[in-house]
Amino acid sequence: MQHRLCYDVIIIGSGAAGLTTALRLPAAVRIALISKDLPDAGATCWAQGGVAAVLDDHDHIDQHVQDTLTAGAGLCDQQAVQNVVSHGRESIQWLISQGVPFTTASQSSGFHLTQEGGHSSRRIVHVADATGRAISNTLLQQAGSKANIDLFSHHLAIDLLNVGTLPTRCLGASVFDLKHRQIRLFSSRFTVLACGGASSAYIFSSNGDGASGDGIAMAWRGGCRVANMEFNQFHPTCLYHPEARSMLISEALRGEGGLLKRPNGSRFMPEYDVHAELAPRDIVARAMDCEMKRLGVNCLYLDISHKPADFIRSHFPNIYQRCLSYGIDITTDPVPVVPAAHYTCGGIVVNQHGQTDTQGLFAVGECSFTGLHGANRLASNSLLECFVSARHCAQWITRAMAQYPNLPPAPAWNENRQADHGNMGILIHHIKVLRRLMWDNVGIVRSTAGLQKAMAQLKLLQAASRQLHHDRTISKHLIELRNLTLVSELIIRCALARKESRGLHYSLDYPERANVAKNTILTPGQKS
């Protein structure tokens, strides 16, 4: 049986973007905040380094803008950059007003500001080395205390409920209640996708399995354009240890003096870039990939042991403890590290209010494409984008509420699927095959032949996924496989369309950067 619930706004995703949107809407607005796992399971909670914002007297908005443009390799939308960067201070003040306990220091800003790659100044405000956890806990606590916000955890959105033809109007979403194993229909005046990125399309990822690009896939199926999916950011330093899946070693370690080394203890980054370990991420990850292939080694090393032990323990208490639990003492030993898929720079095309191509549908945070990141995101700009975009989106929805005083008639829904875990083994196998395929062929260094091979094999996985989907059963793994195969196709299509190397997309067949920088925009129903 299907259950229908009615809200003014449904927000799919309870990370930084979804929570901020919910908290920035007026108290009179009835909100459903939906997340497919526990509410704190997305990337937000794992964020370590912090939030980039101009807070120091010696820093300037223009410098932050310039650093973002430089990292973005000529592809950032200048207006989007200016918009996000200029709202840095206000965003931090809002987070403090919500109760986020940023680490303080006797600097002019009052905060301890750390350094990360690509930034010309110390600009990253943080809560020790667990910034995301502090932000997530604080905002979730705030959301939990609001009478107008209903939190639905373990609710997995399947598809949007759209009506009409171009432009379509979104009236909510179909959602799989994972605990009660039933489909619920959420009707709403406005729907916000805040579902995070698609980095779990890769076998080595700093993200959890839930980063399966669900929001991007739902929007695409619903008729929205998607852009720049070829720009998958690989973070240079994830812990290389058989038991430590997805453990990031923050870039802030390099900001505070950590050095990247070969197994013989020699540094290599000065040979690749004048900024050495603090070059933008695309350059560091590619240099590591090159060194690992050249030396035939499985990992390289990040060494901060030349710094005083007390300094390391006080700045990086969580990383220190977690590494220690794997038998690595970062105060004395170099840490084995490898690059891993970390961030999706492309996503659902939106304007500065988060509006998508579908009426009533918005996208904020990592699943959206605002033009901020260009061909490579600058470190710690992602959380900032979540806070700024979510605020603008909430303001727009608040104004637009008056135009839609009543809930529009809900669209019909006649699908009648049964919850079923029967195919779990095969689904997990398909997901693993897909992730390996993407890692091997659509990774840090690409070739046209590799991309074409990946596309051909992907089609087989899509056919298998479609077959399972048509079996009138439903499960979490099936929904995620369906979305992962779709976003992987979008990544490969964008990568094949880009006949140059720029930022995070490096092609052996087109190693030069083109003179003119263009976004790769895909439109549903049109061949790229």
Query: Site residues (CB under 6 A) for ligand FAD?
Result: 12-18, 34-37, 41-44, 46-51, 131-132, 156-157, 194-196, 206-207, 210, 214, 248, 342-343, 365-366, 380-383, 386
How far apart CA 129 and CA 317 sit, in angstroms, is: 7
Q: Does the footprint of ligand SIN cover residue 49 (CB under 6 A)?
A: yes
Residue in 42, 101, 90, 115 with CA at minimum distance from that of residue 378 = 115
> What is the closest distance, in whole angstroms, from the C-beta atom of residue 480 to ligand FAD in the complex?
8
**Among 245-253, 361-369, 398-406, 441-449, the segment contacting ligand SIN (CB under 6 A):** 245-253
Q: Which is nearer to ligand SIN, 22 or 252 (CB)?
A: 252
Residue pointed to by tokens 């987070």: 95
- Residues of 247-265 as b/e, b for ≥16 C-beta within 10 angstroms? bbbbbbbbbbebbbbeeee
List, in sequence order, every residue forming a beta bridge with 362; answer none if it has no partner.
192, 355
36 contacts which partner out of ligand SIN, ligand FAD, none, CB within 5 to 8 A by kind? ligand FAD
Residue nearest ligand SIN (C-beta atom): 49
Distance CA 460, CA 35 (A): 30
What type of residue is 489?
E
Biggest CA–CA distance in the chain, Å, is 68
441 is a contact residue toward ligand SIN (CB under 6 A): no
Say whether residue 103 binds ligand SIN (CB under 6 A).
Answer: no
417 noted as active-site residue: no
Sign of CA dihedral 290, 296, 298, 301: negative
- Strands 347-349 vs 361-363: parallel, antiparallel or unpaired: unpaired
Distance CA 385, CA 188 (A): 25
Does 319 sit near ligand SIN (CB under 6 A)?
no
Q: What own/partner pairs with CB < 8 Å and gap ≥ 24 does 433-437 have? A: 433/461, 434/201, 434/458, 434/461, 434/481, 434/484, 434/485, 434/488, 435/200, 435/201, 435/202, 435/203, 436/203, 437/461, 437/488
For ligand FAD, the closer CB: 157 or 454: 157
What is the Cα 225 distance to its own chain's centre?
A: 18
- Which 3 state secondary structure label does DSSP give 462? helix
Distance in Å, CB of 382 to ligand SIN, minimum: 5
Residue 393 exposure: Cα atoms within 13 Å on the Cβ side: 34
Q: How far is the CB of 270 from ligand FAD (least distance, A)?
A: 25
Instruction: Note whether 61 and 178 are within 8 A (CB).
Output: no
Give 220 or 343: the residue with its C-beta nearer to ligand FAD: 343
82 touches, from ligand SIN, ligand FAD, none (C-beta below 5 to 8 Å by class): none
Which residues in 29-48 contact ligand SIN (CB under 6 A)? Answer: 48
Each residue 370-399 as x (binds ligand SIN by CB under 6 A) or -, in order, gives ---------xx-x-----------------
Give CA–CA dist 144/14, Å, rounded: 12
Picked from ligand FAD, ligand SIN, none, the partner binding residue 195 (CB below 5 to 8 A depending on kind) is ligand FAD
Q: Is 344 a residue that touches ligand SIN (CB under 6 A)? A: no
Binders of ligand SIN: how many residues, by CB under 6 A? 8
Q: Residue 74: which of 445, 515, 382 has the closest Cα?
A: 515
**DSSP classification of residue 246:** T
Q: Which partner in ligand SIN, ligand FAD, none is near 13 (CB below 5 to 8 A by kind)?
A: ligand FAD
Cβ 339 to ligand SIN shortest distance, Å = 12
Helices and strands: H and E segment counts in the chain: 14, 20
192 binds, among ligand FAD, ligand SIN, none (CB under 5 to 8 A by kind): none
> In the beta sheet, which residues pair with residue 5?
186
Contact of residue 478 among ligand FAD, ligand SIN, none (CB under 5-8 Å per partner type): none
467 contact partners, CB below 8 Å, separation of at least 6: none
Query: Residue 266 Cβ, how far from ligand FAD at the closest point, in Å?
Result: 28
Phi-psi region of 165 (alpha: psi -120 to 50; beta: other; left: phi over 0): beta
Distance CA 322, CA 311 (A): 17
Binding at 462: pick from ligand FAD, ligand SIN, none (beta carbon under 5-8 Å per type): none
Please give the backbone phi and psi of residue 339, each rounded to the nearest 5 degrees, phi first.
Answer: -70, 155
The catalytic position among 184, 254, 281, 391 is 281
Shortest Å, Cβ 133 to ligand SIN? 12
Q: Which does 133 bind (CB under 5 to 8 A by kind): ligand SIN, ligand FAD, none?
A: none
**Least spacing, CB of residue 189 vs ligand SIN, in Å:** 34
- Please state the closest distance from residue 222 (CB atom) to ligand FAD, in A: 13
Length of the chain: 528
Of 50 and 223, CB closest to ligand SIN: 50
Nearer to ligand SIN, 48 or 103 (CB): 48
Nearest partner of 52 among 18, 92, 12, 83, judged by Cα: 92
Secondary structure (DSSP) of 465-501: HHHHHTTTEE-HHHHHHHHHHHHHHHHHHHHHH--S-
224 binds ligand SIN (CB under 6 A): no
Task: Give 55 or 157: the residue with its C-beta nearer to ligand FAD.
Answer: 157
CB of 467 to ligand FAD, least distance (A): 21
The answer to whether the CB of 246 falls within 8 A of the CB of 238 is yes
By CB under 6 A, which span of 1-9, 83-91, 249-257, 389-397 interacts with ligand SIN? 249-257
* Residue 228 contact among ligand SIN, ligand FAD, none, beta carbon within 5 to 8 Å by kind: none
Is residue 250 within the footprint of ligand SIN (CB under 6 A)?
yes
Residues that bind ligand SIN (CB under 6 A): 48-49, 250-252, 379-380, 382
Question: Catalytic residue numbers?
Answer: 281
